[in-house]
Amino acid sequence: MLTTNASISEIQRRIAAGEISLPELVEFYVRRVESQRSLNAFLDVYADEALEQARKVQGKLAAGKAGPLAGAVLAIKDNIAIKGKKLTCASHILANFVSPYDATVVQRLRTADAIVLGKTNMDEFAMGSSSENSSVAPVRNPRDPERVPGGSSGGSAAAVAANLCTAALGSDTGGSIRQPAAFCGVVGLKPTYGRVSRFGLVAFASSLDQIGPFGRTVEDVARLLNVMAGHDPMDSTSAPEPVPDFTDQLHTRPESLTIGLPVEYLSGDVQPDIVQAIETAKQAFTEAGYQVRDVHLPMTEYCIATYYIICTAEASSNLARYDGARYGHRAADVQNLEEMYRLTRSEGFGKEVKRRIMLGTYVLSAGYYDAYYRRALKVRTLIRRDFEQAFEQCDVLITPTTPSTAFRIGEKTRDPVAMYLSDIFTVSANLAGLPAISIPAGKDENDLPIGVQLLARPFDEATLLRAAAFLEAQF
């Protein structure tokens, strides 16, 4: 019925031609999810509701009154709220929590006639780089089920890669959209911080978190961003920036473009196949008449340390609300309030979440705040200045998305530092609040997907997406 590379536009064309109906499409995806349950990509599937909505949107299509995303059947990461549905963050502590409201992005997508198929699996509270930290089951990579799909939005990336849905939503705190997109061979976009409302996103690190889309093509994520972007009074960090049509001129070759290649990103231990992909991309830009130049981001070596101080500090603060007193899991047979707090959190949180809460509490504690957290904030400013200076010389930066292709399940679970280094090329965009995208760039010698990352100035997703669409065509 559908090939694995069917974009939103292609699906809409086939529906308009009468080759397929939207209810048939939903039924197809439901069957696909059932047949691929071993991937553990979905936590919940709303088959009956999705089918009912498909019939309504099919009627709108017939009347010529459908929204711009009619034909898109979406999966939503389980840290994004959907009214009346479980919102668990793949954690025991929220195992039975039901959201009382919709996230702003869910409201906007439904208004555009997108259909929500279900919730996807993830690293608990979005803390992880492999989707092995789920309290339910680790997600498996559709390209090789013995390998991880990346994290923390691994379920969403796997769902798109395995053709279990048309597109998906994830969240990106330090690479949690781009890294799994690279590992699974799909497109993943992290918008500028403030471009997309975070209302209804369960907080991990509030100054870093951003919702973004996965798709099979750059055009898919651009179309989703058209609907999702824009100011939201329910989110105090939402920026009142104008929202252009990101699909306008998407496939028109940019007249001029200067590409920056940060030398620090290729000076470390990067898999040779990935280095070659960057060289291929560089050559494609050069042959098209665009200037490619080396740039320097001297604070790059401090990005991982800065990120893991800031994100754990914010996580420690944000996750203090899960105490058993108001909602979520509560330990049984406790003798006093202190015991309730201690047992509830011990039983409800997994190892990685506990690790990050302890790290964050430590760097915020008396005597260590100035040495760690305050210093990390200062370094974050220097990292942002690095990018500002780089963008004085170029329009877009190109880097690897990850230092390696997808690693095996269990390979890094005993070495947290090695796991954290999986995000070495992605955390800087979150620290600086920049838009960034990962696009598929071929395969390595083991036939595993490679991702190439592009970054642009804040709120310049239009240039970022045009450059990505050009590069997408080269691979």
Residues with active-site annotation: 77, 152, 176
> What does DSSP assign to residue 126?
G
Task: From 206, 132, 239, 122, select the one nearest 430 (Cα to Cα).
Answer: 206
**88 in Cβ contact with 43 (< 8 Å):** yes
Q: Which residues pair with 454 in a beta bridge?
A: 398, 437
Can you tell me the distance from the alpha carbon of 131 to that of 75, in angstroms, rounded to the nearest whole number? 16
Residue count of the chain: 475
Strands 258-262 and 291-295: parallel
* Cβ-contact 439, 184 below 8 angstroms: no
Residue 247 contacts residue 268 (beta carbons within 8 Å): no
Could you tell me the two tokens for 54? 């498909």
Sign of CA dihedral 461, 462, 466, 472: positive
Q: Strands of 191-247 (E only): list them.
A: 211-215
Structure tokens of 227? 């609907």
Rg of the chain (C-alpha set)? 21
76: which 2 tokens?
């939503």
CA–CA distance, 287 with 474 (Å, rounded to integer): 11
Cα 402 from Cα 406, distance rounded (Å): 9
Which residues fall within 8 angstroms of residue 402, CB to CB, at 6 or more apart? 150, 179, 182, 183, 274, 422, 425, 426, 451
